[in-house]
Amino acid sequence: MWPAPLSIPKALFFLVRYYLPVNTVLSVLDSFPTDYTSAQCHRTFEWSSTSSAAVVIGAEAILFYRVYAFSGRSRVMLLYLGFQFVAIHATLLTFLFRYYNSLEFTRWQGQVCTPIRANHNLIGGVYIALLCSLTIVMIIMIFLALRKHRGLDSKLLQIFYRDGIFYFISLSGLTSVNIFMSFAAPEGFQFMFSQFGIVVHSILSTCMLLHLRAADSSRLAEMDPLATYASREYDVGVMSMIRFNNSQQETGDIECTVVPP
């Protein structure tokens, strides 16, 4: 990924992949003894939680961008995905910020920041919004498979749908667990799996891009009906983003070129 020219997928890849360790450090700071006041505990929690939300939103952006690319760069699909992305994540952030306002902290044994009061239903709303987003994107992928790519023998498509299905099953399962924990877990256990879910979200989203790039590098997509290589302009080793040109000819073939991430 490093030699490739800067683009939206590449920027998202590096932001999500390499900001994740920073976010993990921020998320564990609350567990250590400090001399923070209750207000400082609250502020630290807000910073770490907003950081985690940023990682998830970046990972979701990668997913949305892949779906847009495999739709044939449809302008209608771009408008819809843009609307869904903004609507879902605006709802998610609204629940999250309202949750901040419901929080009250104390210092357990005088050292560790500990929440003593919060409306955990709002965190449940955050995970429900995320699950809705994952489900709708999966439905769109199924629609594209049935209406646009049916019968097309393509290694790139196989990778796209294989990763997409695994992504959906893994994250919808983790998100469902977090929904249950938000509503039913005893006080203090609501976030038991939240950071694990964020890490998995980040890893899977970036791996999906790496798998597409690996398909290009190993020439699995050579002679692929979905990819023609612009070898005179680009090194195949750094190609990973697929640009579709829906030139509806008499054959109905999809003409596309692979361009740098």
More confident residue, 214 or 139: 139
258 in a structural domain: no
pTM metric for this prediction: 0.77
* Domain span holding position 88: 10-227
Does the pLDDT value for residue 43 go beyond 70? yes
Determine the residue type at 252: G
Confidence of residue 149 (pLDDT cuts 50, 70, 90): low
Instruction: Give the CA count within 13 Å in the CB-facing half-sphere of 65.
Output: 22
Q: What is the pLDDT of residues 229-247, one digit of tens each?
A: 333 322 333 333 344 333 3
5 in a structural domain: no
259 in a structural domain: no
Count CB atoms within 10 A of the CB of residue 112.
Answer: 15
- What is the residue-wise DSSP string for 84-119? HHHHHHHHHHHHHHHHHHH-EEEEETTTEEEEEE--
Mean per-residue pLDDT, 206-217: 76
SS3 255: strand
- C-alpha 130/C-alpha 90 separation (Å) is 11
Question: Number of folded domains in the chain?
Answer: 1
The mean pLDDT of the chain is 77
3 in a structural domain: no
239 in a structural domain: no
98 in a structural domain: yes
Q: Which of 186, 28, 42, 43 is nearest to 106 (CA)?
A: 42
247 in a structural domain: no
246 in a structural domain: no
Mean per-residue pLDDT, 86-96: 95
